[in-house]
Amino acid sequence: MFRGFEIKTGQEWSSVINTTGLKEMNYVGGAAVRNLIVGSDQRMNSPQVLTTNESPPSQPIPFHHELAQTPDYPSHILFYCSVNAAEGGSTPLIRSDFVYNWLNEKYPDFIKQVEELGVKYVRTVPEVDDPTSAQGRSWRSMFHVQTREDAEVEMKKQDFAW
């Protein structure tokens, strides 16, 4: 965690990200309605900077593993806060290996079953973005497309079933 740095804009944060050498990835498949601050929806000239979630503060954001349902999930997630929340606003984070180790210690039979059977994600997404929901991202925004046919092409690329 970096604190006390005078990073005031999304563009400045993008410049910081650019110096890390981390692999960039396009934000495809996430559930949250987000606004693009820096970069482009298709290919980035600079690392993307997006808002966290456009849903109202009254909508809880469920615990999740960021983009774990995609075949090309991120190795790192970087956060930047330009305006601190007056109240609340915390982003709880936990390392997945800690969760796995705890579950394996407490429920080894369950972990063995998950490892043998795998995990299947099932999601129902709207046709248009619903910014009133913490998980309101539409299939159009999710896959950067306008038609169902184009969405199917993108889902095939990620080996999704629908």
Q: Which helix (H) or strand (E) holds 36?
A: strand 36-38
DSSP secondary structure code for residue 62 in this structure = P
Which of helix, strand or coil describes residue 10?
helix
CA pair distance 23, 146, nearest whole angstrom = 27
Work out the widest C-alpha separation in the chain, in whole angstroms. Answer: 49
pLDDT for position 71: 74
List helix spans (H) across 28-147: 96-106, 108-117, 139-143
**CATH number of the domain bearing residue 67:** 3.60.130.10
pTM, to two decimals: 0.66
pLDDT score at 67: 75
The answer to whether residue 16 is domain-embedded is yes
Domain count for the chain, please give it.
1
Band (46; pLDDT cuts 50, 70, 90): low
Residue 117 lies in a domain: no
Domain that holds residue 70: 1-94+123-162
